[in-house]
């Protein structure tokens, strides 16, 4: 067991996903946090640590979220930090929570993600506004030419196909496997649409070649939260099999995609995974279930390669053989992932929660039999920053 | 040109101005490290290769070949959508750095990795000139 084994994801909760434009960020934030606290067997009054954002307020309440939360709880928050791994900030936040708890700086730490209401920019309920806002994240040396997040990943996919012979069919297998998981998850945004075939993906319209509509995540709203405590208190309450953090690693590599020697491998992702596996003291072949950032199908494929679950260039064959499906070599994003479960705000929290539910053996029809070790890769931006966490059923 | 509705560069630091000025002057110049000679595209405070602290704005050949590309069919805004489908390319320049811009003057289906291209200029407003690549003749 690695040195982080003393902390556990003790509680998890996911709200309805999809269109929450009739609700507000604070109501969704509190629903998620109350739910995760109840799941952990603690009360909201036990919270003494916060990672990331609190319930939205105004002015200083947003700039100083822990102070704002403390005011609402009527008791001090003893620890607050933010991570900067973009959508992957929950796994990164888990590491910060582990630090706080192991150092005695806090006992009950919450991390929550809530997107609701009408918002603006990339939190907008308007799909067009969100797409436009996300395009501008790339910076002026790119956005003047009209890229989108899809086109950023499309250029990665195009080069991967050129270098390694990866095919659109192989990418489609990832979307197909994940949609099946989504049909088995009652909260998923797209599960109700039913299963997909490779032909369905390939016949959906091209958004940015070679990526089709069904290679892309949805843009939707939703909320989720996790509660982190010491492993001993999680075990003491005993509502669920405790899921402990065994290893964590992080990597930040670039802003401009031109700054990398290649667009088909991401050294910071590899080093994040190496650090996490080294700390946990487990091997790649021991991992039973994974959550890998899947804003686009190519992200899963490259994520598998970067984390060392298959050799460079073999991600396509891995997916083609059903490697990412439930029952495959490494069931990945079994809830449906960002593609079919939910892509709201700091969506890495959904990848993490699904792995926790798998390790608790509470994933229902999606359950990976006997899952004991899970891997979560947290991707920030367009493969610009990474966190890698290894979780274990204690 | 006041009707230009696509994105224009915003919040460009003064230290980046020489690049954008060079586009308007139609002689693209990028930073070249004074210590190790490495070209770098987006301006930086130090050289990512040798960490040297000074650089000189140096004219480039404008020649390169396509490292990767995509055809954008769903654009970020209506102004870009009018041009869709359009091609975005990452180009490995003769000087060894990569840059991103549009590719114009070619049918999207003819674009391929390794294709030789030449930098050209698009005056989009009186203040701003952007890059575009064209197939090298």
d(C-alpha A360, C-alpha A104), whole Å: 26
Query: Which residues does chain A have within 8 Å of residue B12's beta carbon, measured at their own beta carbons?
Result: 140
> Are A140 and B67 inside 8 Å of each other by CB?
no
pLDDT at A121 (0 to 100): 76
Query: Which of A158, A211, A257 shows the shortest C-beta gap to B69?
Result: A158
* Chain A 327-386, residues with CB within 8 Å of chain B CB atoms: none
Interface membership of B113 toward A (CB under 8 Å): yes
- Confidence label for A1 from pLDDT (cuts 50, 70 and 90): very low
Class of the domain covering B61-137? mainly beta
User: Which CATH code for domain A7-118+221-237?
Assistant: 3.40.47.10
Interface membership of B133 toward A (CB under 8 Å): no
Query: Which residues does chain B have within 8 Å of residue A150's beta carbon, measured at their own beta carbons?
Result: 74
- ipTM, interface predicted TM-score of the complex: 0.97
Percent share of chain A, pLDDT over 70:
98
State the nearest Cα–Cα gap between B119 and chain A, in angstroms.
14
How many other CB atoms sit within 10 Å of the CB of residue A59? Answer: 8
Contacts of A369 (CB under 8 A, 6+ apart): none
Residue of A nearest to B42 (CA): A141
> Are B77 and A135 inside 8 Å of each other by CB?
yes
Which class for A21: exposed (0-12), middle (13-18), buried (19 or more C-beta within 10 A)?
middle
Query: Which of A143, A146, A159 shows the shortest C-beta gap to B113?
Result: A159
Q: What is the mean pLDDT of chain A?
A: 94
Cα distances (angstroms) measured from residue A111 to each of A10, A58, A221, B108, B137: 12, 20, 17, 45, 56
Interface membership of B109 toward A (CB under 8 Å): no
Better pLDDT: A128 or B126: B126
HSE (CB half, 13 Å, CA atoms) of A356?
28
* Whether A293 contacts A338, CB under 8 Å: yes
* Chain A 197-226, residues with CB within 8 Å of chain B CB atoms: 205-211
Interface membership of A261 toward B (CB under 8 Å): no
For tokens 């929570």, what's the residue? A97
In Å, the largest CA–CA distance within chain A is 59
Query: Which of B71, B101, B102 shows the shortest C-beta gap to A208?
Result: B71
> Are A159 and B80 inside 8 Å of each other by CB?
no
pLDDT at A313 (0 to 100): 97
Cα distances (angstroms) measured from residue A341 to each of A14, A18, A133, A210, A213: 11, 9, 22, 23, 15
Interface membership of B69 toward A (CB under 8 Å): yes
Residue of B nearest to A144 (CA): B7
> Are B70 and A155 inside 8 Å of each other by CB?
yes
Total count of residues recorded for chain A: 394
What are the backbone angles phi and psi of residue A131, rounded to the nearest 5°?
-60, -45
Retrieve residue A289's tokens. 């279930």
Interface membership of B106 toward A (CB under 8 Å): no
pLDDT at A62 (0 to 100): 85
Q: What is the mean pLDDT of residues A71-92?
A: 90
Domain A7-118+221-237 matches domain A148-218+246-393 at the CATH topology level: yes
> Are A257 and B71 inside 8 Å of each other by CB?
no
* Whole-prediction pTM: 0.95
Query: Which of B8, B90, B102 shows the shortest C-beta gap to A258?
Result: B90
Each residue of A242-300: pLDDT tens digit? 999 999 999 999 888 888 999 999 999 999 999 999 999 999 999 999 999 999 999 99
Q: What is the mean pLDDT of residues A389-393?
A: 96
Of 3.40.50.11540, 3.40.50.1220, 3.40.50.2300, 3.40.47.10, the CATH number of A148-218+246-393 is 3.40.47.10
**Nearest Cα to Cα of residue A339 among A160, A167, A156, A200:** A200
**Nearest Cα to Cα of residue A349 among A112, A129, A140, A178:** A112
What are the backbone angles phi and psi of residue B18, rounded to the nearest 5°?
-55, -35
pLDDT at A4 (0 to 100): 56
Residues of chain B with pLDDT under 50: 1
State the nearest Cα–Cα gap between B94 and chain A, in angstroms.
14
- Confidence label for A133 from pLDDT (cuts 50, 70 and 90): confident
Interface membership of B76 toward A (CB under 8 Å): yes
- The helix-helix angle for A149-164 and A127-135 (nearest 10°) equals 60
| DSSP one-letter string for A38-68 | HHHT--GGG--EEES--S--STHHHHSHHHH
Where along chain B do the CATH 2.40.50.840 domains lie?
61-137
State the nearest Cα–Cα gap between B137 and chain A, in angstroms.
23
Q: What is the mean pLDDT of residues A194-216?
A: 98
Query: Which of B67, B76, B113 shows the shortest C-beta gap to A135?
Result: B76
Each residue of A295-335: pLDDT tens digit? 999 999 999 999 999 999 999 999 999 999 999 999 999 99
Residue of A nearest to B92 (CA): A258
Residue of A nearest to B6 (CA): A144
- Confidence label for A118 from pLDDT (cuts 50, 70 and 90): confident
Residue of A nearest to B4 (CA): A144
Each residue of A48-65: pLDDT tens digit? 999 999 999 888 888 899
A376 pLDDT more than 80: yes
A2 pLDDT more than 50: no
Domain ranges of chain A: 7-118+221-237, 148-218+246-393
> Are A154 and B70 inside 8 Å of each other by CB?
yes
Interface probe for B, chosen from A121, A139, A163, A209 (most Cβ of B below 10 Å), is A209
Question: What is the DSSP pairing of strand A109-115 with strand B55-59?
Answer: unpaired
d(C-alpha B134, C-alpha B111), whole Å: 10
């Amino acid at each position: 067991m690695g040195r982080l084994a003393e902390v556990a994801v003790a509680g998890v909760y996911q709200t309805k996903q999809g269109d929450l434009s009739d609700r507000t960020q604070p109501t969704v934030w509190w629903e998620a946090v109350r739910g995760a606290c109840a799941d952990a067997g603690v009360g909201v009054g036990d919270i003494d640590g916060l990672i990331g954002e609190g319930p939205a307020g105004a002015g200083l309440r947003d700039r100083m979220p822990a102070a704002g939360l403390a005011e609402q709880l009527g008791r001090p928050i003893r620890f607050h930090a933010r991570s900067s791994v973009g959508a992957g900030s929950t796994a990164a936040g888990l590491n910060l929570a582990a630090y706080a708890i192991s150092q005695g700086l806090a006992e009950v730490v919450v991390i929550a993600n809530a997107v609701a209401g009408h918002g603006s920019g990339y939190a907008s309920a308007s799909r067009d506004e969100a797409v436009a806002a996300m395009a501008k994240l790339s910076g002026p040396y790119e956005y003047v030419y009209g890229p989108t997040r899809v086109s950023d990943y499309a250029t990665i996919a195009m080069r991967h196909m050129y270098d390694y012979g990866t095919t659109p069919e192989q990418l489609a297998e990832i979307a197909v496997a994940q949609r099946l998981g989504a049909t088995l998850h009652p909260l998923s945004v797209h599960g109700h649409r039913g299963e997909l075939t490779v032909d369905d993906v390939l016949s959906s319209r091209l958004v940015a070649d070679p990526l089709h509509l069904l290679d892309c995540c949805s843009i939707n709203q939703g909320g989720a939260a996790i509660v982190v405590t010491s492993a001993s208190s999680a075990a003491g309450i005993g509502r669920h099999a405790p899921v402990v953090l065994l290893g964590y690693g992080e990597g930040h590599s670039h802003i401009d995609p031109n700054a990398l020697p290649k667009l088909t491998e991401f050294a910071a992702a590899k080093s994040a995974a190496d650090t996490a596996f080294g700390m946990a003291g487990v091997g790649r072949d021991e991992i039973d279930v994974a959550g890998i950032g899947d804003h686009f199908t190519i992200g899963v494929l490259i994520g598998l390669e970067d984390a060392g679950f298959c050799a460079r260039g073999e991600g396509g064959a891995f997916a083609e053989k059903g490697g990412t499906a439930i029952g495959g070599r490494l069931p990945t994003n079994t809830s449906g992932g960002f593609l079919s479960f939910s892509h709201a705000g700091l969506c890495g929290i959904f990848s993490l929660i699904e792995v926790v539910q798998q390790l608790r053996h509470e994933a229902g029809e999606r359950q990976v039999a006997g899952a004991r070790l899970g891997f979560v890769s947290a991707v920030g931006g367009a493969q610009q920053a990474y966190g890698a966490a290894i979780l274990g059923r204690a | 040109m006041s009707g230009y509705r696509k994105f224009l560069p915003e919040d460009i630091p003064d230290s980046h101005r020489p690049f954008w000025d060079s586009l308007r002057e139609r002689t693209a110049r990028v930073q070249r490290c004074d210590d190790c000679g490495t070209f770098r595209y987006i301006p930086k405070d130090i050289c990512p290769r040798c960490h040297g602290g000074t650089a000189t704005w140096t004219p480039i050949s404008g020649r390169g070949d396509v490292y990767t590309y995509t055809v954008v069919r769903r654009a970020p805004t209506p102004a870009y959508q009018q041009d869709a489908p359009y091609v975005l390319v990452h180009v490995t320049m003769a000087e060894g750095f990569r840059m991103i811009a549009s590719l114009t003057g070619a049918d999207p289906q003819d674009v391929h990795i390794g294709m030789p291209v030449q930098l050209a200029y698009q005056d989009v407003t009186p203040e701003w000139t952007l890059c575009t690549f064209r197939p090298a003749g």
